[in-house]
Each structure stands twice: as structure tokens, then as C-alpha cells.
Structure 1
Amino acid sequence: MTEKIGPLLEQNPSHFLVEIKIKPTNNIKVFIDGDQGVGIDQLVRYNRQLYKAIEELGTFPEGDFSLEVSSPGLDEPLKLQRQYLKNVGRYVEILLLDGTKLEGKLTGADDTSLTVEEEKGKGKKKELVSHTILLSTIKTTKIQIKF
């Protein structure tokens, strides 16, 4: 499946494959993101092109499959370093492999770690604490909406 998506994304280098999920019911979900996001019109084009490519492969001879192509929603955890880079400046909730939770502003990301700025205390006692977290210690990272 990945080999069919790669050539489609070459048309727009700022778009990248995040994940493919295939359920036992032959429901295929493809998550595509972009450095500046991905428009609905582009997702529709990807869907049409990929649907045609899957039909041509003959993997599902009876046409017994469904395809969803979308960008990952806010409920989907960040998976790729490129997604972390795209979301620098946003608030995140990080769950570490040891069960520890950390919420804060994502201030940086590189190949091996993230930097998150956590607010501790309130009012005059409020302080910002910077944490560097190794990617290898992270179970999930999700974007948090702050108002």
C-alpha cells in the first residue's frame, strides 16, 4: 500500500504519509499530513487516485473494500518527527512509557528529543520549567486545545 501512496505524494513534497490502518473489514484508512496542513480538495484527489490504484492491484477482486483518506485529527497522536516540527508552539499532552503525564508548550523538536515548556504554579508564583524528553521514552503525544 505504501508503494502506491509514495508516488502520489511526490506531486507535493510538503505532504507526507503518517499512517495506514487496515481493518479486518477491508476498511483502509490513510492519514496524510503536510508541513502547512493538507486541504480537503487535495485529500479528495489523493482518495480518488489511491482508490483507482487499489482497484488496479486486484487485492480485493470483488471490490470489497472502503477507503478513507484524511489528515490526522486532534485525537490522533503525533507519530512522526515532521509532525512535531509542524506543531512547535502548540500545547501538547505527553504520556511517557512509565505512565508519567506532562502538559506544556512544545518549544522544539529534533531527531531524538522534544523540548516542552511546562507552567507550574499560579499568579506571582507561576514559573516556566523547560523539559527535554527523549522520543524513545514517549508513549503518546497529543495536541491540546487551549482557550
Structure 2
Amino acid sequence: MSTTQSERLRELLEPLVSSQDLDLEEIEVASVGRKRVLRVVVDSEDGVDLDQIADVSRALSAKLDETDAMGEGEYTLEVGSPGAERPLKEQRHYERAVGRLARIQTADGAELVARIVTVDDEGVDLEVPGVKGRKPTARRLTFGEIVKARVEVEFNRKDDKSMKEEEEA
């Protein structure tokens, strides 16, 4: 059975990432001119900080240096987090985004921006904001109905404390 370089790299690097209580979200090997770039994206339940990125980067670099996983020739290792507008691909991504707005493209071609309320094994419960003074509506999507989803950055987002205070008033 043939495996791709990305699959072999995932098998090699995932245990190292997991040992640092992080999830290996993505591996990409790209050519930039004559050089190659290995991009590794890591995350965790609580997000990642620069110290964690540096620690995992050193561990991955050491492991790659002791193996021939990247073959001969120069390459650059880039380790980072998914970023503010992270894509939502797996159930755990949706779980981490509960309470956040997401831009979702559905299998029927519709696109909506809605707040993720709850997540279970089958899909997500959403709150779709009302338009022109209307109340928000609830909507349920199964994971199979979602083609693409991404967290939306909210500059005026109220934190949980101020939202609870408003609800109690």
C-alpha cells in the first residue's frame, strides 16, 4: 500500500505533537521556488501560544533531522496555529467554536453566517441572527449538509459576562 509524503509525515509527527497536549491539524509540503516548505498547523482546546509553538517546533525539527522523512535537500519548517478565521473541518473544531460566529456553506448552495450554539456527533445547532429587527432563529445542520465552514472574526463581540448581564436585565 502506497502512502503519500504527507501521510508519512503525519504518522511521524503526530505522536510528538500529541505528547505536548496539542492536536496536529494540518500538514502541507509546498514548493516555493527551488526550496520546499513544510507547514504544520497545531491547536488545542484552549488554543496555542507562542511558547507552545516554539516548543513543538523544536521537537519536530529534531525528529525531522534524525530521519529522512523530508528526503535530501533544503526545506523550511513552519509551525503555526489555525488563526482567527480558522476552518471548521472536524467535530472538535466546531466544539472549540461554540459561541462564535461561523460562515457556513451548505450542500444546497446556501451560505449563512450563524452563531454555533451546540455540537453533537451528528451536527450543529445554530442561531441565525435576525434581519431588520427580527429575532434570531434556530437552525440545525448535520455535518453532511456542511460543505465548508470558517470562524468569522467579530470585532464588536460581547463577552459571555456582558451577554449574561443583558439576559438577566
Q: Normalized against structure 2, the TM-score is what? A: 0.77
The residue that corresponds to 1:82 in the other structure is 92
**Superposed displacement of residue 87, structure 1:** 1.0
Contiguous gaps of at least 5 residues in structure 2: 1-8, 157-169
Write the mapping of 1:35-50 to structure 2, written as runs, cut at 5 A: 35-50=45-60
- Does residue 113 (structure 1) correspond to residue 123 (structure 2)? The answer is yes
Identify which of structures 1 and 2 has the higher relative contact order when contacts are C-alpha pairs closer than 8 Å and 6+ apart: 1
Identity of aligned residues (%): 29
The residue that corresponds to 1:22 in the other structure is 29
* AA at the equivalent of 2:10: T
Q: Distance in 2 between matches of 1:60 and 1:122?
A: 55
Q: Distance in 1 between matches of 2:71 and 2:101?
A: 45
The residue that corresponds to 2:6 in the other structure is none
**Superposed displacement of residue 61, structure 1:** 4.5
**Superposed displacement of residue 136, structure 1:** 1.4
Q: Distance in 2 between matches of 1:35 and 1:16?
A: 9
| 1:20–1:29 Cα contact (<8 Å) kept | yes
| SS of match in other structure, 1:5 | helix
Q: Distance in 1 between matches of 2:125 and 2:153?
A: 18
* AA at the equivalent of 1:52: A
- Does residue 3 (structure 1) correspond to residue 23 (structure 2)? The answer is no
Contiguous gaps of at least 5 residues in structure 1: none
CA distance change for structure 1 residues 21 and 39 in 2, over 3 Å: closer, same or farther?
Answer: same
The residue that corresponds to 1:55 in the other structure is 65
The residue that corresponds to 2:146 in the other structure is 138
Spell out, residue by residue over 1:20-62, the C-alpha distance to the aligned partner (whole angstroms, 9 max, x if none): 1111442111111110111111111111111121122123454
| 1:18–1:80 Cα contact (<8 Å) kept | no
CA distance change for structure 1 residues 140 and 74 in 2, over 3 Å: closer, same or farther?
Answer: farther
| SS of match in other structure, 2:136 | strand
| 1:16–1:33 Cα contact (<8 Å) kept | yes
* Larger gyration radius, structure 1 or structure 2: 2
* AA at the equivalent of 2:24: L
| SS of match in other structure, 1:117 | strand
| SS of match in other structure, 2:144 | helix
